[in-house]
A and B are shown apart, each in its own frame.
Chain A
Amino acid sequence: MYKKNIVLFCIGCFFAASTFAQVKTLSSIKGESSAVYFMVHPMHKFDATSKEVVFTASLDPGAKTIKTVTAVVDVTSFDSGNSNRDSHAMEVIDAMSFPETTFTSTSIVPQENSLMVGGKLTFHGVTHDVTALAVPEWGSDKLVVHATMYISLTAFKVERPALLFIPVEDTLKFVLTAAFPLK
Chain B
Amino acid sequence: MNNSMRWVKSSIFVCFICSLGSQIGRAQDSYDVSFETSVLLSQELPFIQQDSLNISVVQPDTLPVSVVRRPRLLPENLGFFERNLWTENGLFRTMGIASPLTPESRKSELKLRRTMLVAHEVSGFVTLGLMVTTVYYGQKVLNEFNTSNYRPLLRKHTQFVDATIATYSITALLSLLSPPPVIRRDEISTVSIHRALAWVHVTGMILTPIIAAIAKKGRGATDMSILRIHQISAYITTAAFTASIIVVTF
- Tell me whether A114 is interfacial, beta carbon within 8 Å: no
Q: Which of B11, B22, B111 contacts A19 (CB 8 A)?
A: B22
Instruction: Judge whether B107 and A97 touch: CB under 8 Å.
Output: yes
Instruction: Judge whether B67 and A17 touch: CB under 8 Å.
Output: no
Further contacts, 10 of them, CB under 8 A, given A91-B113, A99-B68: A12-B18, A16-B18, A23-B33, A56-B63, A68-B61, A72-B63, A79-B185, A87-B184, A88-B114, A90-B182
Name B77's closest neighbour in chain A (CB-CB). A83
Q: Would you give 30 A-B contacts (Cβ < 8 Å), ordered by A?
A: A9-B14, A12-B16, A15-B37, A16-B24, A18-B36, A21-B36, A21-B37, A24-B32, A24-B57, A25-B31, A27-B56, A29-B54, A29-B55, A30-B54, A43-B249, A53-B67, A54-B64, A58-B60, A70-B63, A70-B64, A76-B68, A76-B182, A82-B189, A82-B190, A87-B183, A91-B113, A94-B107, A96-B71, A100-B66, A181-B53
Docked Cα-Cα span, A163 to B124, in Å, equals 13
- Distance (Å) between the CB of B196 and the closest chain A CB? 14
Q: Which residues of B contact A12 (CB under 8 A)?
A: 13-14, 16-18, 21
**Residues 53-104 of A at the B interface (beta carbon under 8 Å):** 53-54, 56, 58, 68, 70, 72-74, 76, 79, 81-88, 90-91, 94-97, 99-100, 102, 104
Instruction: Judge whether A58 and B107 touch: CB under 8 Å.
Output: no
**Residues 9-44 of A at the B interface (beta carbon under 8 Å):** 9, 11-13, 15-27, 29-30, 43-44
- Distance (Å) between the CB of A123 and the closest chain B CB? 14
Q: Which residues of B contact A58 (CB under 8 A)?
A: 35, 60
Docked Cα-Cα span, A60 to B22, in Å, equals 17
Docked Cα-Cα span, A85 to B187, in Å, equals 12
- Distance (Å) between the CB of B184 and the closest chain A CB? 5
Instruction: Judge whether B55 and A181 touch: CB under 8 Å.
Output: yes
Q: Which residues of B contact A84 (CB under 8 A)?
A: 181, 184, 189, 191
Instruction: Judge whether B249 and A44 touch: CB under 8 Å.
Output: yes
**Residues 116-133 of B at the A interface (beta carbon under 8 Å):** 118, 121
The 7 closest A-B pairs by CB, nearest first: A16-B21, A12-B17, A87-B181, A82-B189, A84-B191, A19-B21, A83-B185
Instruction: Judge whether A164 and B67 touch: CB under 8 Å.
Output: no
Docked Cα-Cα span, A44 to B118, in Å, equals 19
Instruction: Judge whether B14 and A26 touch: CB under 8 Å.
Output: no
- Tell me whether A169 is interfacial, beta carbon within 8 Å: no
Q: Which of A11, A76, A104 contacts B183 (CB 8 A)?
A: A76
Chain A, 152-180, contact with B by CB distance < 8 Å: what is the 0/1 string? 00000000000111000000000000000
How many chain B residues sit at the interface, stated as a range, is 35 or more
- Distance (Å) between the CB of A161 and the closest chain B CB? 10
Q: Which of A43, A54, A81, A91 contacts B187 (CB 8 A)?
A: A81
Known: A43-B249, A70-B63, A164-B121. Is A100-B68 also a contact (CB below 8 A)?
Answer: yes
Q: Which residues of B contact A96 (CB under 8 A)?
A: 71, 103, 106-107, 110, 182
Chain A: residues with Cβ within 8 Å of the partner, total of 59
Q: Which residues of B contact A81 (CB under 8 A)?
A: 187, 189
Known: A9-B17, A15-B18, A20-B25. Is A73-B34 also a contact (CB below 8 A)?
Answer: no
Q: Which residues of B contact A109 (CB under 8 A)?
A: none
Q: Which residues of B contact A111 (CB under 8 A)?
A: none
- Tell me whether B217 is interfacial, beta carbon within 8 Å: no
- Distance (Å) between the CB of B61 and the closest chain A CB? 7
Chain B, 174-192, contact with A by CB distance < 8 Å: what is the 0/1 string? 0000000111110101110
Known: A11-B14, A19-B25, A56-B63. Is A27-B121 also a contact (CB below 8 A)?
Answer: no
- Tell me whether A113 is interfacial, beta carbon within 8 Å: no
- Distance (Å) between the CB of A147 and the closest chain B CB? 17
Instruction: Judge whether A25 and B17 touch: CB under 8 Å.
Output: no
Docked Cα-Cα span, A19 to B21, in Å, equals 6
- Tell me whether A140 is interfacial, beta carbon within 8 Å: no
- Distance (Å) between the CB of B111 and the closest chain A CB? 8
- Tell me whether A8 is interfacial, beta carbon within 8 Å: yes
Instruction: Judge whether A25 and B185 touch: CB under 8 Å.
Output: no
